[in-house]
Amino acid sequence: MPMQATAAELPYTPEIAAATAPLFDRVKDVVSQLEWPGYAPIIHEINRLKKEKNAVILAHNYQSAQIFHTVADVVGDSLALARDAAKTDADIIVMCGVHFMAETAKLLNPHKKVLIPDVKAGCSLAESITAADVRLLRERYPGVPVVTYVNTSAAVKAETDICCTSGNAVKVVESLGVPEVLFLPDEYLANYVATQTKVKIIAWHGHCEVHERFTAKDIRFFKKNNPGAVVLAHPECPPSVLAEADYVGSTAKMQDYVETNKPPRVILITECAMSDNLRAANPGTQFTQPCNLCPHMQRITLPKILAALQTEQPEVTIDPAVAERARASVERMLAVK
């Protein structure tokens, strides 16, 4: 096999400038002309390799704009990525997100090659609970169904009755037709779901390291200095933060809110790379964000995506015995309408 150029070795030629000009137009409000020559050759090569290898790139809303708007084929929140992963006809899936998302893609595509550009792209929520914890909870609450956020490992999903995302959590809980559920692992999302349903919610104590850092004091400060701005908050935030918000919703629902209502000014209370992606797609809206970046999401970069496609590594694998049970909990979630 011939040696392939590294990201640093790819030249920025007039031909690449012309070929990538439409892509630059998508991100020109968040990526400067000075930066673009460093990105364009890598983007061009990634898109070439995708066609050559019949690969698809899935990118979460928290990915950088230069990934989200120029190389991704499917974008969205965890639920959207899970749904699209289940129906792709690509031979290779590259997950531009964190490790549990890549595992979910693998669960739904056991015979496809699933790559994650950086295996260290983890998640504080996924790390907050283990399969052993779930088994102990089942012993403590016999007969109570376990609803588990997709922000968990495959091993945890394997101990679960059904998965959910922040976008469909209430529907999933109510679909079970039971008086109470164990809701794992995000305590703040569990608290929010409890305000939206009559089902008793028994919560775990996990938190998202990005969303838990927001405070009500922060939000009041930004509201005071941005009069008239609409506050959109993710339900992984503490209850005191949600109480200051004008709208609470998943990343997909926040995006829908902006695109439907077209507010002139928005204070976005979530991972702040999403603001860049929304600003690129909605130039008429001004975004203010108390900027908390997810250190795990930001481990995914264009050079790492290129290397993953070139080497077809790192590949995500799951023990078949674990995968079969975990897959069932994800498929039950996808069946909820």
Banded pLDDT at 77 (limits 50, 70, 90)? confident
What does R_g of the chain's alpha carbons equal in angstroms? Answer: 20
DSSP 3-state assignment of 278? helix
Q: What pLDDT shows up at residue 22?
A: 97
The predicted model scores a pTM of: 0.90
Token pair, residue 270, equals 């979530």
Same domain, 61 and 114: yes
Say which DSSP state 7 is in. G
Q: What pLDDT shows up at residue 82?
A: 79
Instruction: Please state, rounded to an integer, the average pLDDT across all residues of the chain.
Output: 94
**Domain for residue 47, yes or no?**
yes
Lowest-confidence pick of 25-29, 81-85, 154-158, 186-190: 81-85
Cα(224)–Cα(54) distance, integer angstroms:
50
Same domain, 117 and 12: yes
Q: Torsion over CA of 74, 161, 179 and 240, rounded to 10 degrees?
A: -50
Give the domain-ending residue among 206, 232, 257. Answer: 206
**Domain for residue 332, yes or no?**
no
In sequence order, the 6+-apart residues with CB closer than 8 A to the CB of 137 are 146, 182, 184, 204
DSSP 3-state assignment of 40? helix
Same domain, 197 and 216: no
The tally of domains found in the chain comes to: 3
Q: What pLDDT shows up at residue 1?
A: 44
Same domain, 164 and 247: no
Q: What is the separation of C-alpha 287 from the centre of its chain, rounded to a whole number of angstroms? A: 20
Same domain, 105 and 140: no
Q: What pLDDT shows up at residue 53?
A: 97
Average pLDDT (216-240) is 94
**Domain for residue 317, yes or no?**
no
Same domain, 255 and 169: no
Banded pLDDT at 178 (limits 50, 70, 90)? very high
Same domain, 184 and 255: no
**Domain for residue 326, yes or no?**
no
Average pLDDT (66-76) is 94
Average pLDDT (285-303) is 88
Average pLDDT (306-314) is 97
Helix segments in the chain, DSSP class H? 14-27, 36-53, 65-68, 78-85, 99-108, 131-140, 154-157, 169-175, 187-196, 216-225, 239-242, 251-261, 273-281, 302-311, 320-335
Per-residue model confidence as pLDDT tens digits over 105-125: 999 999 999 999 999 999 999
**Domain for residue 174, yes or no?**
yes
pLDDT above 80 (res 291): no
In CATH, what number is assigned to the domain containing residue 168?
A: 3.40.50.10800
Per-residue model confidence as pLDDT tens digits over 1-43: 456 888 888 999 999 999 999 999 999 988 999 999 999 999 9
Same domain, 240 and 137: no
Same domain, 69 and 85: yes
**Domain for residue 2, yes or no?**
no
Q: Any idea what the Cα angle at residue 214 is, between residues 212 and 215, rounded to 5°?
A: 110
Token pair, residue 192, equals 């929010």
**Domain for residue 316, yes or no?**
no
Same domain, 18 and 114: yes
Cα(108)–Cα(103) distance, integer angstroms:
9
**Domain for residue 319, yes or no?**
no
Structural domain of residue 222, as residue ranges? 211-288
Same domain, 31 and 101: yes
- 29 by Cβ neighbours in 10 Å (0-12 / 13-18 / 19+) ranks as middle
Q: How many CA atoms lie within 13 A of 224 on its CB side?
A: 6
Q: What pLDDT shows up at residue 275?
A: 85
**Phi, psi at residue 177, to the nearest 5°?**
65, 35
